[in-house]
Amino acid sequence: MSYIFFALLAALAFAIGALINKFASKHAIHDWKKLWVYFVGTYSLIAVVLTPFISTITWPKEALAEIILNSFFFLLGVAFWMMSILRIDASVATPLYQTQGVAIAILAFLFLGERFPVASYMWLAVIIIGCVIVSLDEKLRLNSFFSRGVMIMILANILFAVSNLWVGLSLRTQTNGNIMFWGTVTNLIFLSLFLLIRRPDIRISFNAYKPMVPAGVVQFIGVVCILTAYQQNITLSAVLSLLSSPIVFVVTFFTSKFFPQLLEHHSPKVYAIRAIGLVIILFAAIKLSLG
């Protein structure tokens, strides 16, 4: 199948996953540690069981350190993502994904010595402006961007950017399936160490746990699809995967109108302003990717 199909399916899967996690944080699990443990555990178990059926698995001796570092920063990123999603709206959280591009550019500039055209830095600045706009609420104050929840979400995306850098290095010697399998094995090891050392209270009811199953499934589908798409065309696949943000925005807008208690609720004016911010972010991210 075409990479376009897989990239679009990945965008849909990641959008559904974000909505499920927001629903779970609002109606089922109100502690970030529990959200983190059950999401990571469920997704990792699904990936460990299913990946060998779709890819040949070998011992990744050439990239073991990279896979471990990828897992470590991914888990930290998910932890901060869960802290944030308890505080901010899904319609704010998903557009902030694009701060990963800004973080990767800064990291490449500082540590890899990479230099980009002036236009690229301009589009990175435009993404930040869009993020400020998309974070506005009814008060229309810039303080909403500098809120604890938004800052934590940005930190989460910086950690995801670092994680992705290690993925890029491991891809020099490993297949996508190998990285996914051993990365999720490492996730489970780190998760087990966390539970043994910190011994957090993770008791929840079965009904509270239920949303984590579809969240783990769609996360696995999304990762498999985007990695498959990257094998054919990285640039356009990355652009198409950005559609997860408008999908989430449309869903949250309509649920706000007809089911205000389901996910979030704001005035049409707020969603209009956030839509402008989202368009700015997407336009800048597309220009940056294609440039």
Domain ranges of the chain: 3-290
Q: What is the pLDDT of residue 171?
A: 81
Q: What is the pLDDT of residue 112?
A: 62
pLDDT at 49: 96
What tokens were used for 274? 């956030």
Q: Reduced to 3 states, what is the DSSP secondary structure of residue 242? A: coil
- What local confidence, expressed as pLDDT, does residue 209 receive? 95
Q: What is the pLDDT of residue 167?
A: 83
What H or E segment, with its residue span, contains residue 127? Answer: helix 118-134
* Angle, helix 3-27 to helix 212-232, in steps of 10 degrees: 160
3-state SS string for 18-64:
HHHHHHHHHHCCCCHHHHHHHHHHHHHHHHHHHHHHHCCCCCCHHHH
- Burial class (CB within 10 angstroms; exposed 0-12, middle 13-18, buried 19+) of 87: middle
Average pLDDT by consecutive 10-residue portion of the chain (291 residues)?
86 94 94 96 96 93 94 96 95 88 73 72 88 89 89 93 84 89 96 94 93 96 87 74 89 94 92 94 82 64
Cα separation, 180 vs 213, whole angstroms:
18
In this structure, are residues 10 and 241 in contact, taking their beta carbons and an 8 Å threshold? yes
- Six-digit token pair at 237? 């696949």
